[in-house]
Amino acid sequence: MLPEELKERLQAFVPPPAPAGIESTDDVPAAFDLPWRRYDQKLEKQISGVEQVTIHKRETETSALHDLIPLLRLADAGQLPVSEKTSLPSVAAVKTAGRVLLGGDFYEEEGGEMHEREKPGPIKAFSWSLYISERQYGSLGYSGSHEWSILQGRYVLCILFEYAAAFGLIDLAYIPPAGLRNDYRKLWGTDNLSFLSRYDGLLYFRLNPLGAYCLEVADSYTPKALEVRQVFRVLPHREVIAMGEPLSAADRLTLITYLAVPRRHEKSFRRTLRELGYPLPPRLAAEEDSLGGC
């Protein structure tokens, strides 16, 4: 902090700083050239190269509006518990929430050749705390020992990726975070880390119409027209059947919430509930308890 009298003297001859700005582009490329470097055991030396990594593009406005209702239904059913001590959702709650997200989470949790420590994990369905190693050893260094990008910059990425994008305010273009940012390598305890935060893969973001309205950049907002398709059919005897493509997790939750299941479909119904991590209705739960499960 500069003394006021010194500020007045400096203002007389020091030019004002350039206005803040963000570099922008009209088009996002299909792939990103990611430099890599590793030790080759056979050659006994460091080798390097460039790998082309596909850029994932996600428009979030429609998916956020879709995700809200099934997530509220899960919360109302007590299926998204949060720890009283950590204020974080359980692993089971994260998996349950991930199943009803339109298009899934930003990163796929299963499959691929990605090493376990390179998997970013869930973002939309989970709130992550920034620590290195175990919590008691999670120091980011002494005050002033790291650049702005290490802590403040990571929280900016977190707000953009985990909150603004999850709420449908911005669209994203990103790659897996491993190897993209190397500004943390001098920090103690990061030798074996492929990335410092799961948000390190963010490359581009764009304010969409919903975000512009919420941030008061636009005076009004008109939601995108949603695709209308018939997924249910009500028969004359009031039985509801699915039509066409397999039902989404959100559509199945709608049926589970409001409808009773015919006895001839109870077996498949139980299987669907287990896949969703959703509780059995009282009658079916009582029957399972009396039979010792099924």
pLDDT, tens digit, for every residue of 51-79?
999 999 999 898 888 888 888 887 877 77
Q: What is the pLDDT, as a whole number, of residue 208?
A: 94
Write out the two tokens for 18.
């350039």
User: H/E element holding 57?
Assistant: strand 56-58
Q: How far apart are CA 127 and CA 129, in angstroms?
A: 7
Q: Which of 26-35, 102-111, 262-271 has the highest mean pLDDT?
A: 26-35
The reported pLDDT for the residue numbered 132 is 37
- Band of residue 211 on the pLDDT scale cut at 50, 70, 90: very high
Q: Which two tokens stand for residue 91?
A: 């692993």
So what's the pLDDT on residue 134?
Answer: 42
pTM summary value: 0.70
Domain layout of the chain by residue ranges: 31-214, 232-291
Average pLDDT, the chain: 78
Q: What is the mean pLDDT of residues 39-58?
A: 89
**What per-residue confidence (pLDDT) applies to 169?**
94
- Examine the pLDDT at 164 and tell me if it is beyond 60: yes
The whole-angstrom separation of Cα 95 and Cα 160 is: 22
